[in-house]
Structure 1
Amino acid sequence: MSCKIGRLAAWAAVSALAIVASAQGAGAEPLDLKIGALLESTGPLSELGPPAEKAINLSATVANKAAKDAGVEAKVTIVSADSQGDPQAALSATRTLVDKGASCIMGPSTTPESISVLNGITMQRKITLWPLASSTRLRTVKDDGTIYRPVPADDLQSKALVKAIENHVGKGKAVAIIFRNEPYGDALSKSFTTDWQAEGGTISSTISFDPQQESFDSEAGQAVDTNPDAYVVIDYPETYAKLGAALVRTGKFDAKKVFVADALSFAKVPDNIPPEALEGAYGVAGGSPTGTDAFKAFNKLWDEAGGVANASYTANSFDAAILCFLSAVEAGSTEPGAIRDKIRSVTKDGAPQFTIETLADAVKTAATGKEIDYVGVSGAFRFKDNGDPSSSLYDVFQYQGGKQVKIEQVNVK
């Protein structure tokens, strides 16, 4: 009898070790994953830097807890650098992150920066780049399957702007477009013109400006002189401080007719932008399904962490970092190419679904090499062949009392 009990105990011990080995991968080395955060800490989009940084740091906290709860030896560390809103500075910052061992890069926020980083370092090293840049111009370059955008491209944002204007101004109206003359502004203005005219609307004027110019009075005068039913403004916070002031000075400008693109989406209107330039203005930015448990859990984590207020695209940045982590776990490697090759395996339609609330279970499953479907805070990821989301939910917001208030959501494909 004692021999039989001894054999049973030995069998139980071996079985327990086998379960742990299958979860971690037999003989697997502990994963020490470093995720690079290429932040807009300074420069024309500096309003976006702090929320993105907080979101990415939260992802590491959540990932490390999930790995511990799953019994999988994996650690995530965030390394950060400032892209400064400048292509050359972004490339230099990325080199710093790669030198520190970054296997994935979150950011940057503009297309020129993204292309510079892609061509200068990430494509060569098979490092996945997760830019918040939304311009369709980003898809005119070869990326060797290394770019995955956690935010929708501007061909979808254009449709969201159309729906927002139709809902709050009406169909078939005259719209004046004012945009900064660079890839983001140029491509989005063209997409919007096509989509708005296809719905029976008209364009009263299309006005571009050089972001480096000192005065915007001429452009502001041209915009208000056509007396449009609505304005579409495609700009960054730094320059809209000047452009918005010029529009107010015309004496003919009504901010309640304004619809801004996502680069002018922030929780609170910056102090350098005249209140009259945005009070009552509408805007669109990629949103997250608000009724899900994942959304509620993320917001709770955000509030508990303190610091900067939540803003547009924080959930997208968070999800992108989690996808990098899960891909590394499934690959059993922090080698950039191995992570790249698993992105679609952790967002597999039809595979077992997991969210941040069940992330430990996702880690256990991914560690066995099985496909999973991580459904993020910002929704399910159905990447097209080019790495862009195939559809998106957009928030339509309005600035009330200097703060952003979400008033509805629209689905676009």
Structure 2
Amino acid sequence: MISQKGSRSAKLLAGVALISATALALAGCSSPAEDTPGAEERPENVDLTLNLGSLLPSTGTLSFLGAPMEAGVQLAVQQVNDADAGIQIQLTQADEGDLDNKAYETSISSLHSAGITAMVGAASSSVTKLILDGNSGSGILTVSPSNTSADFTGIDPLYYRTAPSDNLQGEVLANEIAEDGHKTLGIIYQNDPYGTGLFDAIKTTFEGTGGEVVAEASFNQGDGQFNAQVEAIAAENPDAVAIVSYDQFATIAPLLGNAGVDTGSLYLVDGNLKDWPVLPVDLAGSKGTRAGAELPDDFLDQLNEVWTAGGNDPIDAVTYSAEAYDAVILIALAALKAVSVEGADIAAALTEVSGGSGDGEKCTSFAECAEIINAGNVADYDGYSGEITFDEDNDPKGAAIGVYEFADGNTHARIK
């Protein structure tokens, strides 16, 4: 299913007169674009500099996701710049934090001051809701690698995401719970766009299979005590419990175990799905879901090569790294297609370069796709995270959702 993939510029053709002159020059001589049926006329010597920002969590409850995503961004930026195909990226990185430490407030101001015209992030749906209007009002394209709230479908013409809606993840997880033979379910979820969206999808799908959600309890981000929620779930003695959270899982899971809930029948989501080696309960048999296609074995090595080169400790996870990588590649290809680094122009070309419109030629790396575009033809990028293919609501169509299972030592591995 997956193949290996590989500000404004002062140098950009400055005005209509220059573009027109270039077009006339092209008309007078043979070029690869002219020789290819259906090829469009493009200016020669495209030379773009894209000021790209990343707003991803290095602190807060989602910090365990930050390093893999930031490594994906850095890997893609390196490959775009190495390709020397008419666009260079200047990357400005900033800490998203979370709703508690509010690092994003200072970070987003710094990114705007840096003159970015496109941004990868935020990771959290809640944070994106807070910064999206400001980005759009400033003409900045926002592409999130991990926003999964259903609320973002079609929310803004300058907003795209490379991760699928929680409607899909919730369906997959609920069907997995039912297929495992569970008839009753308890759900603990965080009360924010991410948590409520997944809760609704899990509950609706599970009950559609004939199962029953016998208990549900929510909490707010920033809460440190979950005894009431656990007691409400345990009182109904469900066959299984789904936990929609971030790192709060580290507190919730032991409480469930102490309350007599089988910790081998827990179901996790992308916000808390990781290895939990020091957790004082046994998760063997529990499962979880996360968006993304199955990745090549060497992808983690590629991520670590660029990540450790910056003096960072090695990472051992790839959660949403492919989606972050693909976000950068797509932004760069769309800018190259548009011959512009303005946010609105990049956004206007994103659907085409993803294969969502036009009859594009399949390609699986920036360099390969850039060659197609520079020849005046249409590229259709398929990335590490899958085919992507943005729909009319700027969501990826046909995204893959992986199912993972925990083994001894509370490590998890993909099973589907």
TM range (shorter): 0.7 to 0.9
Question: Which residue does 1:96 correspond to in 2?
Answer: 110
Using the alignment, how far apart are the partners of 1:240 and 1:163 within structure 2?
A: 22
Q: Distance in 2 between matches of 1:387 and 1:275?
A: 42
SS in 1 for 2:405: strand
Q: 2:200 aligns with which of 190, 193, 197?
A: 190
The letter for the 2-side match of 1:84 is G
Distance 2:282 2:230 in 1: 12
Residues 1:164 and 2:173 are matched in the alignment: no
* Ranges in structure 2 where 5+ consecutive residues have no aligned partner: 1-27, 309-313
Pair 1:23–1:142, CA change in 2 (3 A) = closer
| Paired residues for 1:230-309 under 5 Å | 230-237=240-247, 239-250=248-259, 252-266=260-274, 268-269=275-276, 271=278, 274-276=279-281, 278-290=283-295, 295=296, 298-299=299-300, 301-302=302-303, 304-305=305-306, 307-309=314-316
Runs of 4+ in 1 over 4 A off after TM superposition: 18-25, 303-306
Q: How many Å apart are 1:53 and its aligned residue?
A: 0.8
| In structure 2, distance between residues paired with 1:344 and 1:216 | 43
Alpha-carbon contact 1:106-1:129 (below 8 Å) kept: yes
Aligned partner letter, 2:117? S
Question: 1:319-340: per-residue Cα shift (whole Å, max 9, x none)?
Answer: 0110001111111121111111
Q: In the superposition, relative to structure 1, how do residues 243 and 277 fare at CA in structure 2: closer, same or farther (>3 Å)?
A: farther
Letter paired with 1:26 = P
Distance 1:194 1:179, change over 3 A: same
3-state SS, counterpart of residue 394 of structure 2: coil
Task: Report the TM-score, using the length of structure 2 for normalisation.
Answer: 0.83
Task: Tell whether 2:48 aligns with 1:31.
Answer: yes
Matched, 1:85 2:92: no
- Structure 2 partner of 1:217: 227
Q: Mean Cα displacement is larger for which, 317-326 or 30-39?
A: 30-39
Tell me how far apart the structure 2 counterparts of residues 73 and 242 of structure 1 sit (CA, whole Å): 50
Matches of 1:370 and 1:99 in 2, distance apart? Answer: 35
More helix by share: 1
SS of 1:157 mapped into structure 2: helix
Indicate the larger mover: 325-334 or 277-286: 277-286
Match of 2:211 in 1: 201
In 2, are the aligned partners of 1:56 and 1:78 still within 8 Å (CA)? Answer: no
Deviation sequence 1:271-296 (CA, Å, 0-9, x none): 5xx24164442100012145xxxx45
Per-residue displacement from partner, 1:61-117 (whole Å, max 9, x unpaired)? 121222x3xxx3321232110111139642442231232232221111222211111
Which position in structure 1 is the counterpart of 2:24? Answer: none
Structure 1 letter corresponding to 2:160: Y
Root-mean-square deviation (CA, aligned residues, Å) is 2.7
Aligned-partner residue type, residue 355 of structure 1: T
Say if 1:348 and 1:123 are closer, same or farther in 2 by CA, change over 3 A. Answer: farther
- 1:319 aligned onto 2:326: yes
SS at match of 1:253: coil
Go from structure 1 to structure 2 and tell me whether the alpha carbon gap of 1:91 and 1:27 turns closer, same or farther (over 3 Å shift).
farther
> Which of 109, 126, 143 in structure 2 is aligned with 1:129?
143
Quote the Cα distance in structure 1 between the aligned partners of 2:161 and 2:97: 20
1:341 to 348, 355, 359: 348
Paired residue type of 1:259: Y
Aligned to 2:361: 352
Going from structure 1 to structure 2, the CA distance change for 1:280 and 1:374 (only over 3 Å counts) comes to: same
Contact in 2 for aligned 1:262/1:283 (Cα 8 Å): yes
Is the alpha carbon distance of 1:53 and 1:270 closer, same or farther for their aligned partners in structure 2, counting shifts above 3 Å? farther
The answer for the alignment partner of 1:108 in structure 2 is 122
Distance 1:379 1:221, change over 3 A: same
TM-score (norm 1): 0.83
CA distance in 1, matches of 2:330, 2:92: 17
Say whether residues 1:63 and 2:68 are aligned partners: no
Structure of higher RCO (CA pairs closer than 8 Å, 6+ residues apart):
2
Aligned length: 375
Give the 3 Å change call, closer, same or farther, for CA 160–333 of structure 1 in structure 2. same
C-alpha contact (below 8 Å) 2:355/2:390 kept by paired residues: no
Alignment CA distance shift 1:327-1:36 (3 Å): same
The structure-2 alpha-carbon separation of the partners of 1:74 and 1:124, relative to structure 1 and needing over 3 Å to count, comes to closer
Match of 1:370 among 377, 380, 390: 377
Q: Percent identity?
A: 26
| Aligned AA (1:103) | T
Q: Secondary structure of 1:321's partner?
A: helix
CA distance in 2, matches of 1:39, 1:128: 12
